[in-house]
């Protein structure tokens, strides 16, 4: 049977690949007696699959019973599924047939099967393996011929690991798995479903159907729909009843979507703007890497000179310029006066030169001073000169205030 005719027969809306795959598996497995396990999030429409399997099978003239295992109290679940004898428990005034006995020759759909108690799981496993069960309060074995289709939104791996579900029962139910995709994986189906629902509600409530503008359609498609098809149907019904204006814009639609989920909507960014921004960021990154490479090369030169001169560095113009460029953190030095810059990054010289002495008339430095000691002394003098005001001291030294603060902590000044 073609998938399209199955959709029309069972009222399935959508053309997405995952949905078509699920329907195709249901059609292929229907003529057999294999147990089927349908997995998927709540609200994805899992309940339609067992109907397809039953109606396309040789059991289509037999009973079809759907049981919500999570809605039956634990104390009565065995009685509901397998029946009980009169007097089996308090309140059992008469004997009663269970679903497995009533569904003999047909199909039973166990929705939320992972909610079954462990004791009931043992009974179900026996039915699947032998086709036999015993009523509550009885010792008589009853045979039944039932096709079992189960569904759940639970992760069986976790349930088995935590001892909440029997592994042998899982493999017995999961002879053929069918996965119902969430609505967020069926984006091409969202607007189709909306139009179907709004048409149905317009007929039901005798009012014009809703329409969406372009922005509203984009939000509808890109929304995550945690409640899946059920949530979409509920929101469509709400708007159909409440909104007087039948043309829905984006702002109106957002009022019906939970705030937490709206925050997950993707931002609409102009493509040209995004490409321009990416290009700009890439250029900045390349420039940064290039500058870092140059700084590393210059540092190697300085270290090599210090090694060659027993830990000392000659205060040549090229070395001074190198030190200024490598160790400056920002562009503050560009606004410095020549007088300010001249008294900062000059390193101790071995032999005094006139140009050096002009800027350091009152400063006598021993040849044995290391680079760190010289830097420490310069920072001390700059701080003393500006009465410990780091902003002006940093400007005097030709470095950023952040670098000066780090140096003060480093040298414990």
Model's pTM, two decimal places? 0.63
Torsion region of 163: left, alpha or beta (phi above 0 gives left; psi -120 to 50 gives alpha): left
Say whether 65 sits in a helix, a strand or coil: strand
- pLDDT score of 342 more than 60: no
Residues 6+ apart with CB under 8 A from 371: 306, 311, 312, 313, 347
CB 238 within 8 A of CB 256: yes
Q: For 161-190, what is the mean pLDDT?
A: 96
Residue where a domain stops, chosen among 152, 181, 210 = 181
Helices (H), 15-166: 17-29, 48-55, 77-82, 99-102, 118-130, 156-161
Same domain assignment for residues 223 and 345: no
Q: Which two tokens stand for residue 58?
A: 């040789």
C-alpha of 395 from chain center:
48
Integer Cα distance of 276 and 288 in angstroms: 18
288: in domain: no
Same domain assignment for residues 134 and 95: yes
Same domain assignment for residues 191 and 175: no
- pLDDT score of 141 more than 70: yes
410: number of Cβ within 10 Å: 12
- pLDDT score of 271 more than 70: no
Share of the chain above pLDDT 70, in %: 75
Q: For 153-176, what is the mean pLDDT?
A: 95
222 backbone dihedrals φ, ψ, rounded to 5°: -90, -10
Burial of 282 (0-12, 13-18, 19+ CB in 10 A): exposed
CB 100 within 8 A of CB 81: yes
pLDDT computed for residue 91 by the predictor: 82
267: in domain: no
Q: Which of 303-312, 371-380, 401-410 has the lowest mean pLDDT?
A: 303-312
- pLDDT score of 152 more than 80: yes
276: in domain: no
Q: For 167-182, what is the mean pLDDT?
A: 96
**What range does the domain containing 13 cover?**
3-181
- pLDDT score of 210 more than 50: yes
pLDDT computed for residue 402 by the predictor: 76
Which H or E run contains 96?
strand 96-97
300: in domain: no
254: in domain: yes
Q: Which residue has the higher pLDDT, 104 or 260?
A: 104
Q: Which residue has the higher pLDDT, 271 or 12?
A: 12
What does the DSSP assignment read for 313-377?
Answer: ----HHHHHHHHHHH--SGGGGG--HHHHHTTSPPPPSS--HHHHHH-TT----TT--HHHHHHH
DSSP-derived letter for residue 185 is G
Q: Which residue has the higher pLDDT, 336 or 18?
A: 18
pLDDT computed for residue 331 by the predictor: 41
Same domain assignment for residues 207 and 162: no
Q: What angle do CA 17, 20, 26 make, to 5 degrees?
A: 145
Q: How confident is the model at residue 322 (pLDDT cuts 50, 70, 90)?
A: low
Same domain assignment for residues 21 and 146: yes
Residue where a domain stops, chosen among 181, 202, 237 = 181
Q: Which residue has the higher pLDDT, 292 or 332?
A: 292
Same domain assignment for residues 173 and 229: no
Same domain assignment for residues 164 and 248: no
Q: Which residue has the higher pLDDT, 220 or 387?
A: 220
CATH classification of the domain holding 43:
3.40.50.300
- pLDDT score of 57 more than 90: yes
Same domain assignment for residues 223 and 240: yes
Integer Cα distance of 353 and 315 in angstroms: 10
CATH classification of the domain holding 211:
1.10.8.60
Q: For 145-157, what is the mean pLDDT?
A: 95
Integer Cα distance of 128 and 35 in angstroms: 8
301: in domain: no
Same domain assignment for residues 142 and 210: no
For residue 314, CA distances in Å to 35, 326, 347, 354 come to 87, 17, 7, 15
How high does pLDDT run on average in the chain? 82
Residue where a domain stops, chosen among 181, 208, 234 = 181
Same domain assignment for residues 240 and 354: no
The total number of structural domains that make up the chain = 3
273: in domain: no
Please name which of 315, 288, 319, 324 lies closest in space to residue 301, comparing C-alpha atoms.
319
- pLDDT score of 335 more than 50: no
- pLDDT score of 77 more than 50: yes
243: in domain: yes
Q: How confident is the model at residue 260 (pLDDT cuts 50, 70, 90)?
A: low
Same domain assignment for residues 133 and 25: yes
Same domain assignment for residues 95 and 238: no
Q: Which of 68-77, 241-250, 270-279, 357-366 has the lowest mean pLDDT?
A: 357-366
């Amino acid at each position: 049977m073609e998938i399209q005719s199955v959709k029309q027969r069972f009222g399935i809306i959508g053309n997405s690949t995952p949905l078509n795959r699920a329907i195709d598996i249901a059609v292929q497995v229907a003529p057999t007696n294999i147990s089927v396990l349908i997995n998927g999030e709540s609200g994805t429409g899992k309940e339609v699959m067992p109907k397809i399997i039953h109606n396309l099978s040789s059991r289509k003239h037999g009973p079809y019973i759907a049981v919500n295992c999570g809605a039956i109290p634990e104390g009565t679940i065995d009685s509901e599924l397998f029946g009980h004898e009169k007097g089996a428990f308090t309140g059992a005034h008469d004997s009663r047939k269970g679903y497995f006995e009533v569904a003999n020759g047909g199909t039973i759909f166990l929705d939320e099967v992972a909610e079954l108690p462990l004791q009931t799981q043992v009974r179900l496993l026996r039915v699947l393996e032998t086709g036999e069960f015993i009523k509550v309060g009885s010792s008589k074995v009853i045979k039944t011929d039932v096709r079992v289709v189960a569904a759940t939104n639970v992760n069986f791996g976790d349930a088995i690991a935590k001892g909440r579900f029997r592994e042998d029962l899982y493999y017995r139910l999961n002879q053929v798995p069918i996965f119902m995709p969430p609505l967020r994986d069926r984006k091409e189906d969202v607007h189709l479903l909306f139009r179907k629902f709004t048409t149905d509600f317009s007929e039901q409530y005798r009012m014009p159907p809703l329409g969406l503008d372009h922005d509203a359609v984009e939000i509808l498609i890109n929304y995550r729909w945690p409640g899946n098809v059920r949530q979409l149907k509920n929101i469509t019904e709400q708007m159909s009843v409440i909104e007087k204006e039948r043309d829905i814009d984006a702002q109106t639609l957002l009022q019906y979507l939970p705030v937490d989920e709206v925050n997950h909507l993707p931002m609409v960014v102009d493509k040209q703007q995004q490409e321009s921004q990416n290009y700009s960021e890439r250029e900045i990154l390349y420039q940064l890497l290039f500058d870092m490479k140059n700084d590393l090369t210059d540092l190697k030169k300085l270290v090599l000179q210090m090694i060659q001169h027993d830990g000392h560095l000659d205060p040549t113009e090229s070395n001074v310029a190198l030190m200024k460029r490598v160790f400056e953190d920002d562009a503050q030095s560009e606004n410095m006066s020549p007088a300010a810059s001249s008294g900062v990054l000059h390193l101790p010289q071995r032999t005094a030169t006139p140009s050096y002495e002009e800027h350091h008339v009152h400063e006598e430095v021993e040849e044995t001073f290391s680079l760190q000691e010289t830097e420490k002394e310069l920072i001390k003098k700059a701080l003393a000169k500006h009465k410990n005001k780091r902003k002006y001291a940093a400007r005097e030294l030709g470095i950023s205030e952040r670098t000066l603060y780090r140096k003060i902590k480093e040298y414990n000044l």
